[in-house]
Every structure is written in C-alpha cells, then in structure tokens.
Amino acid sequence: MSDLNTDIKKILVIGIGNCGRHDDGLGWKFTEMISKHSQGKVDSEYRYQLQVEDSVLVSKYDTVIFADASHSKLKQGFEIHRCRAATHYFYSSHMQTPETILYLAKELYNKIPKSFIVAIKGHIWGLGTTLSRVAEKNLEKAVLSFEKEFFKVAT
Amino acid sequence: MTRKITIDPVTRVEGHGRVTIHLDEYGQVKDSFFHIVEFRGFERFIQGHPYWEAPVLVQRLCGICPVSHHLAAAKAIDQLVGIDPKDLSPAATKLRRLMHFGQIFQSHALHFFYLASPDLLFGVDAPAEKRNVVAVAVENRELAVKGITMRRFGQEIIKAVAGKKIHGILAVPGGVHKTFTQRERDFFMDGKEIENIDTMIEWSLGVIDFMKGYHEKNRKLLDEFAEFPSGHLGMVNELGAMDLYDGKLRAIDHEGNRTLNDISTDLYEQYFSEAVAQWSYMKFPYLKGVGREKGWNRVGPLARINLCDFIPTPLAEKERQAFIAFTGKKINNSTMYSHWARLIEVLHAAEVMKELLNDPELLGEDLVRKGTPRSKGIGIIEAPRGTLTHHYEVDEKGMITRCNLIVSTTHNNDAMNTAVKWVANNVISRKGAITDGMLNQVEVAIRAYDPCLSCATQAMGKMPLKAELYNYKGEMIDERFKY
C-alpha cells in the first residue's frame, strides 16, 4: 500500500450498488475492503445510485474511484478504466452515470477529479446478502490489481 | 395512413407509467388513460411482520419518499403502543417535524430544479436532449448550483436526525431513538461547513421571484393549461392553518365549499372509498359523500394552498397572499400553478426548519413514551406529494394482520388522468401530425403533480412509462419510448 500513501492527495472511493441484492453488492464490498486496507487514507461513500448532488462531493477530491458490479463479460472478471466527463443523462432524477457526475462537477464547480471505474463482474442479482463464489474471486482479483497497479496509473 | 407513437418512459417523474391516447375515425381524441401497470405488493407482504418493523420496512417503497413513509407509519405505530401525537415528548415531536420538513424541502427542491425547471427554462418544444438538469447546469449555472445545494441541505437534515439520507431511521414506537446535539444544530446554523438556514430562506424567496416573473410572462398558457375543476384535500391544524405533519383532514370543492370539514384522521375510513380500474394498478380514492364522479381530490402543494386558511410562517404566508392576489381567484384549479405553490412550501419548510433549529426543546433527552397498547393505528401525514395514509391492525402478539396505504399520488390519479385528457383534447386532437413537443406536454401535465409511481403502486423493480396512440380500430398507430 506504499504507493497509496504517496502522490495522491485526496482520494474518494464510491461504491455503487445494493448489498441486499447478492452480487450487486460488489461495489460496496470493494469500497469496504479498500477503505480498510488503506487504514483510513482514502474516503469512502456508498450509494444505491449516483445522484446529481454527488457532483458536489466528487468536486472536493483529486481522485475518484467509482466501483460497481457489472453484468458485462469482463476478460479478467473485472476491469479498471479511466472515466471521463460526458453529458449522458438518465431520464430519472435518481440514477446518473459517473460520466454525468463528472460533467456536472466540471460545469458547476470547475473541477474534474482524475477518475476511474472499477467494474467487477457479478453473476446473481436476486434478494440476498452474500456474494456468489465467482463474484468473490473477481472481487479479490480486482482489489489486488487495484492495490498493486492502480496508483501507478492514477499518479 | 396509420402511425405508431410510444412515450416510454414518461420522463422526469419519480417512477414509470404509460399513457395511451385513443383517436376516433376523424383523428379526434376519443379517450386517454394514464396507466400504472406495475406490481402492487407492500400491503400484502407486510402482513405477518411485527408492528415495530413497519416504519423501517415501508421505507423500501421508495428511494425518494422514504421519510414520509417512515413518519406516517411511525404515527400509526405510536397508536399501537397507546401514544397519540399529543402524547409524544416535545423532543420526539420536534425531531420528527424537523425530519419531515427536511424531506419536504429536499423533495420539492429536487422536483423544481431537476425535473420541472427544464420545461420552464427551455419550453415544452425544446429538443428532448435539452430537457434535463445537465442542460440547466450548462445554461443557468447559478440556478443549478442553488438547486443542488438546497436539495443537499434537506438531505443533510435527514442524515443528521436519521443517520442516512436515504432509508435512515429516526422513529421508534412512541418516540425517537436519538437526541440532536448542539454541534449538529450549529452545523445548519453557522454557515461554516454548508450554507446555513438563512441562506436557504433567502434562496427560496429568490426562486419564488423567478416563478412570479415566469407567470407574468406566460400567464395565458399557465392559467389555461390543464385547468379543470376538482376537489382539493389536505391537512390543517385546529386554527385552519397549513400543517404538513399533523392535523385534521379538510377537503373543498373547486369553488371552495367544504366537502370534508376538518375531521380527525382516525375517521378517514368513514369518508373515503377507493375505486379500481382494469387498466391501472393505481386505485382512485374519492369521498363517499360526494360520490365517485365528483368526489375525487387533488392533493399536494396546490391543494394545500387552496384549502388552508393561512400558512403559519410569515414569509410563506405573505407569498400565499401574493399567489391568491395574482389570479384574483380564491381557489386555483390550474395544474401549472402547482409549481408556484410547491415553491411557497419550500419557503415554508425552510422557515419551519429555522424555528425548530432555534428551539431548545429540539435538544431534549426525553425521547420515548409508552401507553396502553391498541389493535389499530392510523397515521396520516402531508407528504411532499400530498396526503399519505398508513393504517395498520395487529393481533394480540403484535403481528400485522391488515395494512392499508393510500399514497399521495393515488389521490392524484384522477387529476393526472384529467390533465392528460386535457392535453390530448386541446393539443393533440385533430392536428394531423404529432410532434415531440406535443407529447412532452402530456408529460408536463403529469409532471406538475410530481407523481411518485413507485409509492403509488408499491412496485418492485423497473416501471417504464410508455405513451401510445390508438386509431379508431383499436390499433396502436404511434408510440413513444425512452430509456
């Protein structure tokens, strides 16, 4: 974790999902683990969905990680990629994309933090508080990769 | 030639639904419906649960209105432990009120700034990609920043008293489970970490001024758009003042004549019935004494402004009087005045929050009281969208045997259908071509009621709203569908 403590000033990890929906809890679990491993050196937030006012929150950070479960097929079971501001808009007020949140942060608060999306492949989505075995493995790999590699990219 | 239109979903409302418009052989609108076709479940699956779980479980009806459901259920559950609103401790009453007015403030701010303002700023004919809060942010940064900040203020109030912005818990049977600290109070008053309550009041006044100007410029449209007679239902206190947390039920007809004369909320079953329609899961509540045809009521900000004798905070009362003076009408039946009325309630909520934050009793430590258990509890509250009823009955073990919910949006079911019919008849009928702007006007009419369709149907999962146009043969000829 030494890289984590060096170059990046202020980091926020936002877990997106619902821990009451089996693998939809991957984003929260990832955030919980990173928060624990970093010994309080990153801030963490948990969301069912991103909302417009999260633009205020992200504008206060230098780096923001959006962690979420994914339905998509991912080569390694997870994927970490750069997130850039874009004007997507979801029709409902209570569900926005990370790209929209960054766009609003830029337009309203003149700040775009360096941002990444951590997508972790999930498999079951019904009511339940446990992760599937495959999702747990994907989560482990995502956390390891994040801790080993991510901060080189971010800095 | 036949065409097919679908609006799916009807956008910028909370939840999803479907509109169908039926034409006759001359292309004239014959009928139209606002359908809510999703699963209805909470009333059933809450049965068998212990009563103390209700205020927590029912929050899951919705991510926008959890506070309203939590507090309405809490008021009902209080009665099951023998506590009426007057028996709660001052601290418990004031903390619950603070939470409620935080909810009114944030929910109304969300509706105005995120959902309604694109229509007002860009017009109903603006391209769809512009009719959203992202476009508002680009073109009117100051308005967007204020809107976001105001919503956050209300959410922070909720978080301070309930632990979380969404699905937090404050109420327990007979009271609340946490105190409010001096430090928490100062957070909202001193302006060091967030804009303070005085700024919220100032900004609320500013946005009302914006709305007044908008009405001056667009008077004819706003007066006439979806204007129709209806009853109005809401709660008032013993002096006839607007009370959004607790009071008596009052209803008036479209001219202001009383149709429900300040009855105790415990008696609602004697006065209300609910009709059903094959084409919607949402029921149609009405006053039994007036009958199904004319006994339905609008609820929410416009109804509440119409039926109260006054608003018990000075700035909002001044604005209520200006609202009435603007039209010269005692009772306002114009759908689009709902937005102005909602903003007056935003101001009222800010004033009440300031009063509560300055009240030493808010910091009290007497939190829970107990009485003699009962088998029935009825909690009614004025939620942001209107009158919300929670009714529970329990067996001797405290397990819920009956649950009846009449959600605000359900009361507005007839009003929204009437508004859709108005747009269909006045905007779409016999026009030959149907434009995106015309269909957006259907949405504008629905949106003015700020419906929460998740609450109204107690739905689970996705609920897309779709608009369809049918020809005289019953064939769908056009549809609108958006994700």
**Chain B residues with a Cβ under 8 Å from any Cβ in chain A:** 9, 11-12, 14, 63-64, 110, 114-115, 129, 132-134, 137-138, 141, 144-145, 148-149, 151-152, 155, 166, 482-483
Tell me the two tokens of residue A148: 């080993």
Check residues B387 and A21 and name the one with the higher pLDDT: B387
- Cβ-defined contact of B132 to A89 (cutoff 8 Å): yes
Nearest-by-Cβ selection for A55 from B11, B115, B148: B148
- Cβ-defined contact of B63 to A103 (cutoff 8 Å): no
Tell me the two tokens of residue B23: 């034409």
A59: Cβ contacts below 8 Å, ≥ 6 apart: A105, A108, A109, A110, A111, A113
Q: Which of A21, A49, A51 to mutate to test the interface with B (most CBs of B within 10 A)?
A: A51
Residue entry with tokens 């009419």: B445
A86 touches chain B (CB under 8 A): no
User: If we measure between CA atoms, which residue out of B39, B111, B42 comes closest to residue B345?
Assistant: B111
- Answer for the pair A56, A14: CB distance below 8 angstroms, yes or no: no
Minimum mean pLDDT among A3-12, A106-115, B335-344: which range?
A3-12
Chain A residues within an 8 Å CB radius of B148? 52-53, 55-56, 108
A18 touches chain B (CB under 8 A): no
A52 touches chain B (CB under 8 A): yes
- Cβ-defined contact of B133 to A103 (cutoff 8 Å): no
Helix (H, G, I), strand (E, B) or coil at B361: helix
- Cβ-defined contact of B132 to A94 (cutoff 8 Å): no
- Cβ-defined contact of A100 to B12 (cutoff 8 Å): no
- Cβ-defined contact of A108 to B145 (cutoff 8 Å): yes
Taking only the tens of pLDDT, chain B with its 483 residues reads 334 444 545 555 555 567 778 888 777 888 887 776 555 578 888 899 999 999 988 887 777 788 999 999 999 999 999 999 999 999 999 999 999 999 999 999 999 998 889 888 888 888 877 778 888 888 889 999 999 999 999 999 999 999 988 888 999 999 999 999 999 999 999 999 999 999 999 999 999 999 999 999 999 999 999 999 999 999 999 999 999 999 999 999 999 999 999 999 999 999 999 998 877 777 899 999 999 999 999 999 999 999 999 999 999 999 999 999 999 988 999 999 999 999 999 999 999 999 999 999 999 999 999 999 999 999 999 999 999 999 999 999 999 999 998 888 889 999 999 999 999 899 888 776 677 788 888 888 988 998 876 555 444 333 344 667 777 777 777 776 543
- Answer for the pair B367, B185: CB distance below 8 angstroms, yes or no: no
User: If we measure between CA atoms, which residue out of B334, B298, B337 comes closest to residue B422?
Assistant: B334
A14 touches chain B (CB under 8 A): no
Band (A6; pLDDT cuts 50, 70, 90): very low
Nearest-by-Cβ selection for B12 from A91, A107, A109: A91
- Cβ-defined contact of A49 to B12 (cutoff 8 Å): no
Tell me the two tokens of residue A93: 């007020």
> B207: part of which helix (H) or strand (E)?
helix B197-217
Assess whether pLDDT exceeds 50 at residue A153. Answer: no
- Cβ-defined contact of A104 to B137 (cutoff 8 Å): yes
Assess whether pLDDT exceeds 60 at residue A91. Answer: no
Give the pLDDT confidence score for residue B241 in this predicted structure: 98
Rounded to the nearest angstrom, the minimum Cα separation between B137 and chain A is 7
Give the pLDDT confidence score for residue A4 in this predicted structure: 39
Tell me the two tokens of residue B83: 């506590």
- Cβ-defined contact of B148 to A108 (cutoff 8 Å): yes
> B388: part of which helix (H) or strand (E)?
strand B386-394
Chain B residues within an 8 Å CB radius of A53? 148, 151-152, 155
Give the pLDDT confidence score for residue A93 in this predicted structure: 54
Tell me the two tokens of residue B295: 């006994």
- Answer for the pair B391, B377: CB distance below 8 angstroms, yes or no: yes
Which residue in chain B has the smallest CA separation from A102? B134
pLDDT (mean) for A144-153: 75
- Cβ-defined contact of B148 to A53 (cutoff 8 Å): yes
- pTM, to two decimals: 0.88
A107 touches chain B (CB under 8 A): yes
Beta-bridged to residue B286, according to DSSP, are: B273
- Answer for the pair A61, A43: CB distance below 8 angstroms, yes or no: yes
pLDDT (mean) for A76-102: 82
Q: Which of B152, B155, B194 to mutate to test the interface with A (most CBs of A within 10 A)?
A: B152
ipTM above 0.95, yes or no: no
Q: Which of B8, B65, B112, B114 to mutate to test the interface with A (most CBs of A within 10 A)?
A: B114
pLDDT (mean) for A140-150: 89
pLDDT (mean) for A109-118: 94
Chain B residues within an 8 Å CB radius of A56? 148-149, 152
Give the pLDDT confidence score for residue B339 in this predicted structure: 97
